[in-house]
DNA sequence: TCATTAACACGGG
DNA sequence: CCCGTGTTAATGA
């Protein structure tokens, strides 16, 4: 049940310990793994499917931060669990997802014991930091229409499909804006032959 | 200028 | 019918 990728990167003893202490979990689409503000007891590693990491603003709106796909773990989970701090973010299953849940108390031990684990943790944090900077750039420097295009591209890439089943309202939520704007921008994209709009469905054309 | 909020009509599932 | 969508008008940053 450990993703093939790890078989080649982790040493044998570490793999054994992951088998021993890790819990296998299945999440249905839409299910929440942990809420913002909750104390973390486990670190997730995604085996299959997609987890969505979001930030909640004061009105309860969810801003999309990043996705986790196969082999990914949550960088913020590492940092906050090591200091025993509550989570700053919320994690939900974007689609049906399998994950490996590792108890947080054992991980400090692993970092000291297994170089490949330490390097995995650091790599995860580093990758996410870079991703996060990109997101910040987008929010700070890009217009909403560019953010929307990026969002659609990213979503299509991660889902491996050019057809997205999502409503304008949901998109507005993830980009922390209003539906009026999303509808208007999507309509513009459709008029420019970048996408085709259906009810709760968007088909992305090749030249988006 | 462009986003947000509220309001409304249309129509598809 | 309910909900997603397209649009407009008023207001604000």
pLDDT digits (tens, 9 = 90+) for A120-129: 999 999 998 8
The token duo for A94 is 């974007």
Write down the pLDDT at residue A143: 82
Q: Please indicate whether residue A135 or residue A13 has the higher confidence score (pLDDT).
A: A13
Rounded CA–C1' distance between A144 and B1, in angstroms = 14
Question: Do residues A90 and A36 lie in contact, with contact meaning Cβ atoms separated by under 8 Å?
Answer: yes
Name the residue closest to B13, CA to C1'. Answer: A199
Q: What is the pLDDT of residues A188-200, one digit of tens each?
A: 899 888 999 999 9
A15-24, A34-43, A52-61 — most confident range: A15-24
* Å: A153 CA to C13 C1': 30
* pLDDT for the residue numbered A64: 86
Average pLDDT over residues A154-161: 89
More confident residue, A120 or A134: A120
Check if the beta carbon of residue A198 is closer than 8 Å to that of residue A164.
no
**Which nucleotide's C1' sits nearest to the alpha carbon of A184?**
C6
Closest residue (Cα, C1') to B12: A199
DSSP A106: G
Q: Which two tokens stand for residue A61?
A: 């709106």
What pTM, to 2 d.p., does this model score?
0.79
- Integer distance in angstroms from CA A143 to C1' C4? 25
Q: What is the helix, strand, coil percentage profile of chain A, to 5?
A: 45, 25, 30
Protein residue minimizing CA–C1' distance to B4:
A178
Most confident of A3-7, A21-25, A60-64: A21-25
What is the average pLDDT across A58-77? 84
Residues 171-190 of A with CB under 7 A from strand B: 176-181
Q: Are A93 and A30 in contact (CB under 8 A)?
A: yes
Q: How many Å apart are A198 CA and B10 C1'?
A: 15
Which pLDDT score, from 0 to 100, does residue A58 have?
A: 65
Protein CA A181 to sugar C1' C6 (Å): 11
**Banded model confidence at residue A78, pLDDT cuts 50, 70, 90:** confident
Tell me the C-alpha distance between A20 and A85, whole Å.
Answer: 26
Whether nucleic acid strand C comes within 7 Å of the CB of A25, the answer is no
Contacts within 8 Å (CB) and 24+ apart, A153-157: A153/A204, A153/A208, A154/A67, A156/A204
User: What pLDDT does A1 receive?
Assistant: 66
On the question of pLDDT at A137 being above 80, the answer is: no
Alpha carbons A28 and A148: distance in angstroms, whole number: 27
pLDDT value at A144 more than 80? yes
pLDDT score at A172? 92
β-pair partners for A46: A99
Q: Which residues in window 99-128 of A are less than 7 A from strand C by Cβ?
A: none
pLDDT at residue number A30:
86
Say whether the CB atom of A177 is under 7 angstroms from strand C: no
């Amino acid at each position: 049940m450990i993703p093939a990728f790890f078989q080649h990167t982790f040493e044998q003893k570490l793999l054994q310990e992951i088998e021993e202490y890790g819990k296998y979990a299945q999440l249905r689409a839409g299910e929440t793994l942990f809420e913002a503000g909750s104390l973390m007891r486990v670190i997730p590693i995604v085996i299959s499917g997609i987890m969505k990491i979001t930030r909640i603003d004061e009105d309860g709106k969810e801003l999309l931060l990043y996705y986790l796909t196969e082999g990914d773990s949550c960088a913020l989970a590492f940092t906050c669990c090591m200091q025993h701090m509550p989570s700053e973010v919320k994690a939900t299953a974007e689609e049906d997802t399998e994950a490996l849940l590792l108890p947080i108390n054992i991980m400090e031990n692993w970092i000291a014991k297994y170089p490949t684990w330490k390097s995995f943790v650091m790599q995860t944090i580093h990758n996410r930091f870079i991703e996060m900077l990109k997101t910040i750039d987008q929010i700070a420097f890009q217009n909403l229409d560019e953010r929307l295009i990026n969002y659609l591209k990213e979503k299509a890439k991660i889902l491996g499909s050019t057809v997205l089943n999502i409503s304008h309202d949901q998109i507005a939520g993830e980009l922390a804006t209003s539906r009026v704007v999303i509808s208007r921008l999507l309509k513009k994209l459709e008029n420019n032959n970048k996408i085709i709009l259906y009810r709760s469905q968007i088909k992305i054309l090749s030249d988006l």
